[in-house]
Amino acid sequence: MKITCQTADLLKGVNIVSKAVPTKTTMAILECILIDASSGEIKLTANDMEIGIETIVEGSILERGIIALDAKKFSEIVRKLPKNEVTIETDSTFKTSITCEKAKFDIIGKSGEDFSYIPNPNRNQPIIISQFTLREIISKTIFSVADNENNKMMTGELLEIRNNKLKVVALDGHRVSIRNVDLKNETNDVKVVVPKKTLNEIIKIIDGGVDDIVNIFVTENHIIFEFDQTTVVSRIIEGEYFKIEQMLSADYETKIKINKKEFFDCIDRATILVNEGQKMPIIVNTSENTMSISISSFIGSMNESIDIVKEGKDVMIGFNPKFVMDALRAIDDEEISLYMLNAKSPCFIKADDGSYIYIVLPVNFNNPGAN
Amino acid sequence: MKITCQTADLLKGVNIVSKAVPTKTTMAILECILIDASSGEIKLTANDMEIGIETIVEGSILERGIIALDAKKFSEIVRKLPKNEVTIETDSTFKTSITCEKAKFDIIGKSGEDFSYIPNPNRNQPIIISQFTLREIISKTIFSVADNENNKMMTGELLEIRNNKLKVVALDGHRVSIRNVDLKNETNDVKVVVPKKTLNEIIKIIDGGVDDIVNIFVTENHIIFEFDQTTVVSRIIEGEYFKIEQMLSADYETKIKINKKEFFDCIDRATILVNEGQKMPIIVNTSENTMSISISSFIGSMNESIDIVKEGKDVMIGFNPKFVMDALRAIDDEEISLYMLNAKSPCFIKADDGSYIYIVLPVNFNNPGAN
């Protein structure tokens, strides 16, 4: 194989596919990036068997062939090459020369024949969404996905399309994060649960704006994201997702409008008094047009009040400060609305236009370990 | 005690003295910052018994007193307070209220009486130097100070004044870094070895420019840095420093002028092929007006040539790439001069004006473990 391309193009491709190189694996070949120049294109591939990424790099093929190169070393070399034309040439013993200006590297590759290509299931009608929107709705919900594996369903996000409306849902038993968005194109109804790792990599790779498109295909066992010169194929999580409709129909007796930044900064200050690993609730207490936030721990106590606009009755309720802060961080609005029923019912932070719903379960502040 | 000041001023002071709060100590009182408002000034102090820092914060004293507050929690609180006036008030049980706008913290302090004040030895004539220059000469030599404690003398930097010229020297047995600077004021001759930790903190705290002054006092057991509203007192390392004069008188038979960035980038690329913990030399080999840099390891090999201007005979010599890169990183010149004698003698990187000398010992490239 002999190919030439620009360092910058090669680096971009290597950075994209590197996201699918496993950090730990018993299959040494998976630690490689495959360069496939056996057809008319230079294609880079990496595959950790859960997620596979493939991208096309612009360049010239002087001699067709394929080679698998250690992903870590190959990326480091490409990252540190001068910004100029680079030539990659292999011989029959998989010895690979990487030449750029006056620098020449010789490393030993592996046969590309042993590489596990990524699955290529049949595609039907795509879900079409802008790169900007997809990145937004994932990054503003993914923090609610559970880290622990006890409940497989909680380790992924629900993507559900009904009547051309896309809803993404992430929940971990203590909170629920939901984003809703209208799709511009006619799309079949779909319901699929995508692993957190896949979505985490997707939001790192898709860096386009509102005019750049992602085509999403859902097949029986896979979800496929196609954008620019890149294809990402991931397994999906099989099974029935949680019924969230009944949670959303909850009633409320208190509605509060509050400045988001003031609320966030106040909780941020309160958590200084909680040592890592400790579980101490913040206690929110309304009275007329102010809301006090207080916390007390072994270290000391803190109290602060914030001006609010309140409808309905007063309420006193305890929260895990981290869960409230995570939700506030994901909201761009300057002013937000909180909906509460009582100290035992979840608090809803909802957009008036329905674009987001964040639900945080309260904690018993007399016995904070209970949640 | 009751004082008021601006959050920003308090935060600046807390950040400065925090550098002297020990990370591990058996004396709980040393984990505190002392607020001393018993005289007419608000003075913050921290002291880990090796280095002590004291700084004055602008503000009003409404009731004189002293209190010691847990450094970590107190800094976090100050960092997260609104930017406005803050009031700190203590009662006879050391309960301390920190109030700013509508936020109020209550924490428990400790009696300031138990705190170890920093030593205050008699000062004689100061060494006067700009904050910019002091920061430069320390930060551009300190990487050569040895980390291991086997040789106490190597864990500090020599500051030596002779005929109003200040020389700083750092060495670790494999390399020597020297910076020379002319002092503007008449100064007594001095020779003192200052611990690396002290100098590391000093360069973090002094953020002034060429017109901002540091007064340095050297006493029998201490070195004192006075600048702005801050005093840093540190122990010195006692004993006789290495005789470096004889190293500096070495002869050379090859002089090379080379572009610093090209040389650095080339070594940086070469080291990709060395796994962490491995010791692989780069081999530098001159021939007429080019210098080739090559490396070979278990991973592969790399070779690159750079244009140079050479005087004297050709030379082939091996180096630990890290030591050469550390020196190059500390040099601002675009073009640098290397002076070499043979493969067994140190390489000198010297400024024409004598402002810096970096010496790197070669390694035997047939037996790289030997160095």
| Contact of A88 with A35, CB cutoff 8 Å | yes
Q: How far is A73 from chain B (nearest CA, A)?
A: 7
Q: How far apart are the CA of B103 and the nearest CA of chain A, in angstroms? A: 4
pTM value is 0.91
For chain B, give the number of residues: 371
A287–chain B Cβ distance below 8 A for any pair: no
Ordered by start, the domain boundaries in chain A are 2-114, 127-245, 250-370
CA dihedral B127, B130, B131, B136 (to 10 degrees): -100
Q: Does A307 touch chain B (CB under 8 A)?
A: no
Say which amino acid occupies A328: L
What is the dotted CATH code of the domain comprising B250-370?
Answer: 3.10.150.10
**What sign for the dihedral angle of Cα A234, A239, A242, A245?**
positive
What is the reported pLDDT for A367? Answer: 54
**Sheet with B2-6, side-by-side order of all strands:** A316-319, A282-287, A290-296, A300-307, B103-108, B95-100, B85-90, B2-6, B60-63
Q: How far apart are CA B224 and CA B214, in angstroms?
A: 10
Q: Do A265 and B76 touch (CB under 8 A)?
A: no
Instruction: With CB atoms and an 8 Å threshold, state whether A273 touches B73.
Output: yes
Contact A280, A297 (CB under 8 A): yes
Nearest to A304 among B103, B301, B303 (CB): B103
Tell me which residue in B104, B265, B304 faces A303 most closely, judged by beta carbons: B104
Distance CA B256, CA B286 (A): 9
Looking at CATH, the fold of the domain delimited by A127-245 is given as DNA Polymerase III; Chain A, domain 2 (3.10.150)
Tokens of B52: 């002590």
Q: Which residues of A touch B268 (CB under 8 A)?
A: 80
Query: Which residues of B are less than 8 Å from A104 in CB distance?
Result: 302-304
| Range A29-57 burial, b when 16+ CB lie within 10 A, else e | bbbbbbbbbeeeebbbbbbbeebbbbbbb
| ipTM computed for the complex | 0.88
Rounded Cα distance, A153 and A191, in Å: 13
**Helix or strand (DSSP H, E) at B198:** helix B196-205
Contact B301, B294 (CB under 8 A): yes
Residue B75 sits at the vertex; the CA angle it makes with B70 and B81, to the nearest 5 degrees, is: 125
- Confirm if A141 and A180 have CB atoms less than 8 A apart: no
Single-letter residue type at A337: S
**Contact between A144 and A326 (Cβ < 8 Å):** yes
One-letter amino acid for residue B344 of the chain: K
CA neighbor of B340 nearest in space, from B284, B294, B275 = B284
Residues 261-280 of A with CB under 8 A from B: 265-266, 268-269, 272-273
Among candidates A107, A300, A304 on the partner chain, residue whose Cβ is nearest the Cβ of B102 = A304
- Alpha helices (runs of H) in A19-85, residue ranges in sequence order: 71-80
Residue A261: count of CB within 10 angstroms of its CB: 11
Which amino acid belongs to residue A263?
F
Nearest to A264 by CA among A304, A224, A227, A225: A304
Q: Which CATH architecture has domain B127-241?
A: Roll (3.10)
**pLDDT tens-digit series, residues B102-139:** 999 999 999 999 898 889 888 889 999 999 999 999 99
Class of domain B2-114: alpha beta
**Predicted local confidence at residue A368, as pLDDT:** 46
**Spans of chain B below 70 pLDDT:** 367-371
For tokens 């007193």, what's the residue?
B65
Crossing angle (nearest 10°) for helices A71-80 and A7-18: 150
The pLDDT tens digits for B88-108 are 999 999 999 999 999 999 999
Q: Which helix (H) or strand (E) holds B233?
A: strand B230-235
Length of chain A counted residue by residue: 371
A321 in helix, strand or coil?
helix
Q: At what angle do helices B321-329 and B260-270 cross, to 10 degrees?
A: 150
Among B69, B82, B86, B90, smallest CA distance to B18 is for B69
B137 φ, ψ (degrees, to nearest 5)? -70, -30
Q: pLDDT tens digits for A177-208?
A: 999 999 999 999 999 999 999 999 999 999 99
Neighbours of B150 (CB within 10 A): 8
Question: What CA dihedral angle connects A329, A154, A148 and A250, to 10 degrees?
Answer: 60
Contacts 24+ apart (CB under 8 A), B25-32: B27/B116, B28/B110, B29/B68, B29/B110, B29/B114, B29/B115, B29/B116, B30/B116, B31/B70, B31/B71, B31/B72, B32/B68, B32/B69, B32/B70, B32/B71, B32/B74, B32/B109, B32/B110, B32/B115
Chains A, B: CB contacts within 8 A come to 76
Question: What DSSP element (H or E) covers B2?
Answer: strand B2-6
List, in sequence order, every beta strand (DSSP E) within B32-84.
32-37, 42-47, 51-57, 60-63, 65-70
Closest C-alpha to A147, from A159, A139, A138, A156: A156
> Is the fold of B2-114 the same as that of B127-241?
yes
Q: Which residues of B206-221 are buried (b: 16+ CB within 10 A; e: fewer)?
A: bebeeeebbebbbeee
Would you call A102 and B306 a contact, using CB atoms and an 8 Å cutoff? Answer: yes
Q: Does B107 touch chain A (CB under 8 A)?
A: yes
Is A105 part of the contact surface with chain B (CB cutoff 8 Å)? yes
A80, A108, A269 member nearest B300 (Cβ): A108
Averaged over successive runs of 10 residues, the pLDDT of chain A (371 residues) comes to 98 97 89 96 95 97 97 96 97 97 96 89 92 97 90 95 96 96 93 96 94 95 96 96 88 96 96 85 94 93 96 96 97 97 95 96 71 40
Cα-flanking dihedrals φ and ψ of residue A263, to 5°? -65, -45
Query: Mutation test of the interface with chain B: which of A91, A100, A269, choosing the one with the most B Cβ atoms within 10 A?
Result: A269
